[in-house]
Amino acid sequence: MTRKDLLDIESLRREEIEHLLDQAAPFKELFTRSVKKVPALKGKSVLTLFYEPSTRTLSSFEVAAKRLSADVTTFDVPQSSVVKGESVRDTIATLQAMRTDYIIVRNQMAGIPLAIARATKASVINAGDGAHAHPTQALLDGFTFKEVFPEPAGKKLLLVGDILHSRVARSTSTLMRKLGVEVAWLGPGSLVPKHGPSEIRKFTDYDEAMKWSPDAIYLLRIQMERQSAPFFPSLREYTKLYGVTQERFKRIADQGTYIMHPGPVNRGVELCDDVMDYQRCLIDQQVENGIAARMAVLYWLKPNTGQNELPAEQ
């Protein structure tokens, strides 16, 4: 059971997801050792290709790859707002010539990682493409959720905020539903897609959503800068309607609801400062688990850059 590429969650079977989540745990165990590195990918080359700036995800992948002893190179690409497909194709030709084994790609346009994956023998990992998918984020979210709820089926997860532009919301919702978790979305009508899966409940009212009594709340990052035609009048109004304010946080803490966030957090917008010290705030755990989940992915994928088969050994 293996694949060349990890491009989305949609195409993964439930067993594959569960396998990856199970495998993240032994990788996380390694972090307690004095030597955190293992030689599994010794001699393999990993190339990161980030067309969109992201310190966190990039570092997480780098740490994961280095802990597996792979050689990591950051390929400098223009992080401009528009990348033409032709220039991506030229870049791929260059990468192919470099005989890299794994390519980790982030792009602001949906479908670019797939186009790359089709054109190369290397394993391609989608580190986020447009509003399409962010599969490793979904895996680390699933891993974190399972650490808290070892039997996730039937638990309830509420995602809050900009669902429309969020690849995290798409991939994490898909993964959670494959694990049997009930998923709901909360946000203004302009940020909650009408055409999402009908099994996902859609709320526009905060109190209504809380009456649904979610086991965990997943706050998405609000990005004002993305809005050419505004999706809501002001951050202040957004926070008033959907932010976890101090008053709302008290009720959340009373109910013992867990809080997740993909980072980076906009303090005072999606959540108030107090949340960060909350015992059931999983945000730091998500970051640590991100490395383990990404190691599990790198260890699982098999590039076609291969070597000859050895005879069967005992």
CA distances from 265 to 64, 123, 277, 281 (A): 22, 31, 13, 12
Sign of torsion, CA 250 221 179 276? negative
In the range 227-246, which residues lie near other proteins by CB under 8 A? Answer: none
Interface with other proteins, residue 187, by CB under 8 A: no
Phi then psi for residue 73, to 5 deg, are -125, 135
CA distances from 310 to 278, 294, 306 (A): 52, 27, 12
The least distance separating other proteins from the CB of residue 61, rounded to whole angstroms, comes to 18
Burial class of residue 211 (count of CB atoms within 10 Å of its CB; 0-12, 13-18, 19+) = exposed
Residues 256-285: x where in contact with other proteins by CB under 8 A, - otherwise, as a string: ------------------------------
The least distance separating other proteins from the CB of residue 29, rounded to whole angstroms, comes to 6
The widest CA-to-CA distance across the chain, in whole angstroms, is 66
Please state, in angstroms and rounded to a whole number, the distance separating the CA atoms of residues 190 and 222: 13
Residues 5-44: x where in contact with other proteins by CB under 8 A, - otherwise, as a string: -----xx-------x---x-xxx-x---xxx-xxxxx-xx
Interface with other proteins, residue 193, by CB under 8 A: yes
Region of 85-93, 149-157, 175-183, 216-224 interacting with other proteins (CB under 8 A): 85-93
Report the residue from 13, 14, 56, 89 that binds other proteins according to the rule CB under 8 A.
89
Interface with other proteins, residue 300, by CB under 8 A: yes
The least distance separating other proteins from the CB of residue 238, rounded to whole angstroms, comes to 20
Interface with other proteins, residue 167, by CB under 8 A: yes
The least distance separating other proteins from the CB of residue 288, rounded to whole angstroms, comes to 17
Nearer to other proteins, 45 or 239 (CB): 45
Which residue in the block uniquely carries the two structure tokens 């400062």? 273
**Residue type present at position 224:** M
Interface with other proteins, residue 178, by CB under 8 A: no
Which are the contacts of 83, defined by CB distance < 8 A and separation ≥ 6? 51, 77, 107, 108, 109, 112
Phi then psi for residue 266, to 5 deg, are -95, 95
Please state, in angstroms and rounded to a whole number, the distance separating the CA atoms of residues 65 and 60: 9
For the chain, the distance separating the N- and C-terminal CA atoms, rounded to the nearest angstrom, is 20
Interface with other proteins, residue 81, by CB under 8 A: no
Interface with other proteins, residue 170, by CB under 8 A: yes
The least distance separating other proteins from the CB of residue 55, rounded to whole angstroms, comes to 22
Nearer to other proteins, 29 or 273 (CB): 29
Nearer to other proteins, 161 or 243 (CB): 161
Which are the contacts of 263, defined by CB distance < 8 A and separation ≥ 6? 56, 221, 283, 286, 287
In the range 114-153, which residues lie near other proteins by CB under 8 A? Answer: 114-115, 118-119, 129-133
User: Where does residue 76 fall: left (phi above 0), alpha (psi -120 to 50 degrees), or beta otherwise?
Assistant: beta
Nearer to other proteins, 39 or 256 (CB): 39
Residue numbers of the site for other proteins (CB under 8 A)? 1-2, 10-11, 19, 23, 25-27, 29, 33-35, 37-41, 43-44, 68, 84-86, 88-89, 109-112, 114-115, 118-119, 129-133, 167, 170, 193, 195-196, 299-300, 302, 306-310, 313-314
